[in-house]
Copies of this chain bind each other. A is one copy, B any other.
Amino acid sequence: MITVDLLQKYGALKKSFGKNEIIFEEGNLPSHYYQVISGEVKMSNYNDDGREFIQGIFYKDQSFGEPPLFLNQNYPANAIAVDDSEILLLTKNNFMKLLEENPAVSIKIIENLAQRLYYKSVMAAEMSTQEPEHRVLKLMDHGIAYFNFKKDENGYLINFTRQQIGDLTGLRVETVIRTIKALEKKGILKIINRKVYR
């Protein structure tokens, strides 16, 4: 999103997080801007009885956790490294200074937030009114355009576990497994030794 050079010019520091390490927690006040250098980060909530909902997954060059930073509100979710990851951290004050002095970056931030809001809008409508097959397909098709799914001779490889798909769509693993099977039977996607292609 923002070039590493520019971030470092304003004092951003690289920090490493091990697999499953917590980057920040729901309820805390934001203090930094975060941008992924390498690895994979998920933002998610856990409800009263431990069930997870994944808000989003972030890869190289993507930033996360800005909304509460701009609003002086607590984080609505946790950020956790899915794999060993390197993250650039810039303090709030320095980040705000960077924005003031680089108006072009503001436009970038706007576009990024707009993209994420667009995704949330589409998924919210899906999750509230559509049946499982519809939800799962929508997530996959969004992922093709937005996450780094790679195409090979079988189509796009949906690089999520059934559990992750469930946590992103609000469905249970068993339901996701059955739904994917049903979609395969209808010829809408392919399953080649347990991997899903679209």
Contact = CB atoms under 8 A, between A and B. Distances in A.
A70 interface: yes
A4 interface: no
A93 interface: no
**A-side interface mostly:** helix
A143 interface: no
Given A124-B123, A124-B124, A129-B47, A117 B116 contact: yes
B76 A125 contact: yes
How many of these chains are in the complex? Answer: 2
Given A71-B118, A124-B124, 6 more contacts: A47-B130, A55-B125, A71-B111, A76-B118, A127-B170, A129-B170
27 contacts: A47-B125, A47-B129, A52-B129, A55-B124, A68-B114, A70-B111, A71-B111, A71-B114, A71-B115, A73-B118, A76-B125, A99-B107, A100-B103, A103-B103, A106-B107, A106-B110, A110-B113, A113-B113, A113-B114, A113-B117, A117-B120, A124-B127, A127-B127, A127-B128, A127-B170, A128-B170, A129-B170
